[in-house]
Structure 1
């Protein structure tokens, strides 16, 4: 795992490629932006950026 910066740009890119992105605001109070998606193999891929 590594740190992600520019999560909004990644989210926009994925949406542009017609990849279904699921927003998750469960940790907004902790200063985290995050979303996830499901890959073709059924895995949940979660992307987080600490603000």
Structure 2
């Protein structure tokens, strides 16, 4: 993944068989799930200290 690659075709020199790249949708989805897991862990830790 290249943060500064704004062309739809990607950078020159990569053939169609390279593969293995992450799309922005995949990166954002994984990031949201990680943040959700941290938030749930923090809430349950807070509840454990209160009760």
- Give the alignment's TM-score, normalised by structure 1: 0.28
* Larger Rg belongs to: 2
Structure that is richer in strand per residue: 1
